Amino acid sequence: MAYSPETQAIRLQTRRTAEMEHSTPLFLTSSFVYHSAEEMASAFTDDSLDINIYSRFSNPTVDEFVTKVCTLEGAEDGVATGTGMAAVFSTFMTFLSQGDHILSASAVFGSTHTILTKYLPKWGIESTYFDMTRPESIEALVRPNTKMLYLETPSNPGLDIIDLALVGDICRRHGILFVVDNCFATPAVQQPIRFGADLVIHSATKFMDGQGRVLGGVVVGRKDLIHELYLLVRNTGPSLSPFNAWVLSKSLETLFLRMDKHAENALHLAKALENNPHVSRVKYPFLPTHPQHDIAVRQMKNGGGIVAFELKGGLEAGQRFLNALQMISMTNNLGDSRTIASHPSSTTHSKLSETDRLAVGITPGLVRISVGLEGIVDIVQDVEQALGRF
């Protein structure tokens, strides 16, 4: 019988042990034992054997989490990492070599920008940014040594959207690996593989966990590509811990419910902000005023849980707004059950130059709200009272 993704997120579990537990167990172990010396030797000489050796290599709890994400994303295989940035960096290091070129959206997370501009050049890897709002400019930037195209959609924090099918077609025609960071949307909202992505990356720390408890990352996609990525993660060590994997796997059971509620609250807040006299601009993918609204409704189930808006008054207004909040948390995380406000230009994207920030829409007065699961009346009330103090 074929089950829906919502059902599989709940029912896919590690094989039940002799204890006949109902809730999936946590395999909190660093290593595994063998029936014989010969079996132990085979485990190390034959990589094709499905044998657990060491939890840096594989672990049943981690495998359960990865299997669930693969199922939800429609991927053949996957590998988990200790953080989302470990997933990004491991992907770059697996598939890029000296002399290669990567095309990246200019609107990417600050730490990803640092990898592209500070660390990849150390290994002779070149990068070029493209404007997500001008996808027609991408093809002209492709070089003979371009090996990968990387993007986030919706982007962090400006919520730019790009036509994944269009980009996927460009990558296929030029033989380029298409990698998508799907952290903001999650597989409950969008599945990039359906539109041509080869690999999909998540910071599981965010909406997948959903309560701000643990760190984690995961990459899913084509089996042949994942095998190469797995070997790098296995040998260099940025593996996901079994405990964190257990938390994340349990969290996936409520992902669809949570993302529907996050999106419902986010849309309500975005609409409430549209007419606020202290706000000059509101961006949310499912608002008709969003520049890529038509693309968003075509490839996303809902608009996700993030709202971005521009305050009149710039940097000072942004900080004054955050200081006036009473219920909403002020932190750099997102994807939590609790609503979070942040000021990207002074925190998560502060390492970018002012020119680079402005080029991707990160203005001094931009505020990012990760809309939580509290009562929407309470969320809107706190935002409006903070704005009312201006």
Domain boundaries, the chain: 5-254, 255-387
Q: How far apart are CA 351 and CA 373, in angstroms?
A: 31
pLDDT more than 70, % of the chain: 98
At 364 the pLDDT is: 85
Q: Indicate the SS3 state at residue 2.
A: coil
At 60 the pLDDT is: 96
Q: How far apart are CA 198 and CA 195, in angstroms?
A: 9
pLDDT band at residue 119 under the 50/70/90 scheme: very high
At 316 the pLDDT is: 84
At 265 the pLDDT is: 98
pLDDT band at residue 30 under the 50/70/90 scheme: very high
Which DSSP letter does residue 339 get? Answer: -
Is the pLDDT assigned to residue 351 strictly greater than 70? no
CATH ID of 255-387, from 3.30.870.10, 3.40.50.2020, 3.90.1150.10, 3.40.190.10: 3.90.1150.10
Q: How far apart are CA 203 and CA 82, in angstroms?
A: 9
* 200 Ramachandran zone, left/alpha/beta (phi>0; psi -120 to 50): beta
Q: Does the N-terminal peptide bond of residue 285 adopt cis geometry, omega within 30 degrees of 0?
A: no
- Tokens 């074929």 found at: 2
Mean pLDDT of 46-69: 91
Please, what is the average pLDDT of the chain? 94
At 370 the pLDDT is: 98
Q: How far apart are CA 76 and CA 93, in angstroms?
A: 21
pLDDT band at residue 153 under the 50/70/90 scheme: very high
Cβ–Cβ < 8 Å for 195, 172 = no
Strand ranges (E), the chain: 77-81, 101-105, 126-130, 146-152, 177-181, 199-203, 217-221, 279-283, 306-311, 329-330, 340-342, 366-370
At 69 the pLDDT is: 98
pLDDT band at residue 122 under the 50/70/90 scheme: very high
- Tokens 């796997």 found at: 249
Q: pTM score > 0.85 for this model?
A: yes
Cβ–Cβ < 8 Å for 234, 94 = no
Is the pLDDT assigned to residue 44 strictly greater than 90? no
Mean pLDDT of 70-93: 98
At 2 the pLDDT is: 85
pLDDT band at residue 352 under the 50/70/90 scheme: low
Mean pLDDT of 260-283: 97
Q: Counting every residue, how long is the chain?
A: 390
Sheet arrangement for strand 279-283: 279-283, 306-311, 366-370, 340-342, 329-330
At 349 the pLDDT is: 65
pLDDT band at residue 313 under the 50/70/90 scheme: confident
Q: How far apart are CA 384 and CA 379, in angstroms?
A: 9
The identity of residue 306, as a single letter, is: I
Q: Which residues of 223-235 are buried (b: 16+ CB within 10 A; e: fewer)?
A: eebbeebbebbbe
Side-chain half-sphere CA neighbours of 37 within 13 A: 0
* 377 Ramachandran zone, left/alpha/beta (phi>0; psi -120 to 50): alpha
| Other CB atoms within 10 A of residue 196 CB | 17
Mean pLDDT of 114-129: 97
Cβ–Cβ < 8 Å for 350, 110 = yes
Is the pLDDT assigned to residue 11 strictly greater than 80? yes
| Other CB atoms within 10 A of residue 32 CB | 17
Is the pLDDT assigned to residue 48 strictly greater than 80? no
Please provide residue 30's backbone torsions phi and psi, each rounded to the nearest 5 degrees: -85, -30
Domain 5-254 listed as CATH 3.40.50.620: no
Cβ–Cβ < 8 Å for 201, 219 = yes
**380 token code pair:** 């809107």
Is the pLDDT assigned to residue 356 strictly greater than 90? no
